[in-house]
């Protein structure tokens, strides 16, 4: 009797174990699917259109460069670049970019400037498909405040705030140029 009860107990335990295991596997599969979608969508090598959310309330960016970006504060969220991508504006944007941003972000915008090797988190690679989907307000917030505000400050971001050295007009010019790196994505 007691060995039967023991056996039954073992079977119940084994079933529980199996169930738990299956549950964990399902969770793992879900997490994996989510991850590979984000990874594929944001991978610089991918030519697939970006489908994930470009912004999220909770995210592990900048530790994970493929994660959605944090939502900008309300006073930035609705801003639109007042300038258009004329060749004159893009040329001015390029001048500002090469002088101020290229040391970290690289002249081609791939995040591979001479200072990049020493930085963690790495400077953003502007050529990924998520960069074509980020709203103007996000760009303006980031260029204005840089890594000086949460959640970027906690991650040790070296992105400088430009509000003291570039006028709003200059920030919008450089943003036009930054967006041109991902324009075809
Ligand atoms: C000292 C190095 C450094 C310089 C100079 C620099 N950046 Fe950055 N930038 C970073 C780093 C590191 C990150 C990634 C961490 C973060 O998002 O804060 C970043 C992130 C950004 C982002 C957010 C991109 C994203 O994928 O979410 C924008 C936009 C940006 N930089 C624009 C600029 C512009 C425009 C300039 C020049 C006016 C510039 N940066 C100059 C280091 C730099």
Domain contains 158: yes
At 5, the pLDDT band (50, 70, 90 cuts) reads low
DSSP label at 83? S
Q: Are residues 28 and 64 located together in one domain of the fold?
A: no
Q: Are residues 59 and 37 located together in one domain of the fold?
A: no
Number of separate domains in the chain: 2
Measured distance CA(66)–CA(122) in Å, rounded: 12
Q: What CATH number does residue 133 fall under?
A: 1.10.760.10
Q: Are residues 31 and 90 located together in one domain of the fold?
A: no
Q: Are residues 35 and 92 located together in one domain of the fold?
A: no
Ligand 1 atom 21 nearest Cα = 124
Would you state the pLDDT for residue 78? 95
Q: Are residues 67 and 15 located together in one domain of the fold?
A: no
Task: Tell me if 149 CB under 6 Å of ligand 1.
Answer: no
Domain contains 134: yes
Q: Are residues 71 and 123 located together in one domain of the fold?
A: yes
3-state secondary structure the chain: CHHHHHHHHHHHHHHHHHHHHHHHHHHHHHHHHHHHHHHHHHCCCCCCCCCCCCEECCCCCCCCCCCCEECCCHHHHCCCCCCCCCHHHHHHHHHHHHHHCHHHHCCCCCCCCCCHHHCCCCCCCCCCCHHHHCCHHHHHHHHHHCCCCCCCCCCCCCCCCCCCCCCHHHHHHHHHHHHHCCCCC
Would you state the pLDDT for residue 164? 98
Task: Quick: pLDDT tens for 143-164.
Answer: 999 999 999 999 999 999 999 9
Distance in Å, CA 159 to ligand 1 centroid: 4
pTM: 0.78
Q: Are residues 140 and 74 located together in one domain of the fold?
A: yes
Ligand 1 atom 7 nearest Cα = 159
Distance in Å, CA 10 to ligand 1 centroid: 58
Domain contains 12: yes
Distance in Å, CA 17 to ligand 1 centroid: 48
Ligand 1 atom 32 nearest Cα = 143
Would you state the pLDDT for residue 158? 98
Domain contains 50: no
Q: Are residues 85 and 141 located together in one domain of the fold?
A: yes
Domain contains 48: no
Do residues 110 and 127 touch, judged by C-beta distance below 8 A?
A: yes
Q: Which of 35-44, 105-114, 126-135 has the lowest mean pLDDT?
A: 35-44
Does pLDDT of 25 surpass 70?
Answer: no
Q: What are phi and psi of 69, to 5 degrees?
A: -85, 150
Measured distance CA(104)–CA(118) in Å, rounded: 10
Instruction: Provide the percentage of residues in the chain whose pLDDT is more than 70.
Output: 72
Distance in Å, CA 124 to ligand 1 centroid: 6
Q: 95 is in which domain, residue-wise? A: 55-180
Q: Are residues 62 and 124 located together in one domain of the fold?
A: yes
Domain contains 83: yes
At 4, the pLDDT band (50, 70, 90 cuts) reads low
Q: Are residues 34 and 65 located together in one domain of the fold?
A: no
Ligand 1 atom at minimal distance to the Cα of residue 116:
2
Task: Quick: pLDDT tens for 54-84.
Answer: 999 999 999 999 899 999 999 999 999 999 9
Task: Quick: pLDDT tens for 118-136.
Answer: 999 999 999 999 999 999 9
């Amino acid at each position: 009797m007691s060995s039967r009860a023991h056996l039954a107990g073992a079977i119940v335990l084994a079933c529980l174990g199996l169930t738990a295991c299956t549950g964990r596997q399902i969770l793992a599969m879900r997490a994996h699917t989510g991850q590979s979608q984000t990874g594929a969508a944001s991978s610089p090598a991918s030519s697939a259109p970006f489908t994930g959310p470009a912004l999220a309330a909770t995210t592990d960016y900048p530790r994970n460069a493929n994660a959605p970006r944090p939502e900008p504060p309300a006073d930035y969220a609705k801003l639109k670049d007042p300038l258009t991508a004329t060749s004159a504006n893009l040329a001015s944007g390029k001048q500002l970019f090469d002088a101020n941003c290229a040391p970290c972000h690289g002249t081609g915008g791939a995040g591979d400037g001479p200072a990049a090797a020493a930085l963690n988190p790495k400077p953003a690679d502007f050529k990924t498909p998520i960069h074509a989907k980020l709203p103007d307000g996000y760009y303006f917030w980031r260029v204005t405040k840089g890594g000086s505000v949460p959640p970027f400050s906690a991650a040790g971001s070296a992105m400088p705030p430009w509000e003291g050295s570039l006028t709003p007009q200059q920030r919008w010019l450089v943003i036009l140029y930054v967006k041109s790196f991902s324009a075809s994505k």
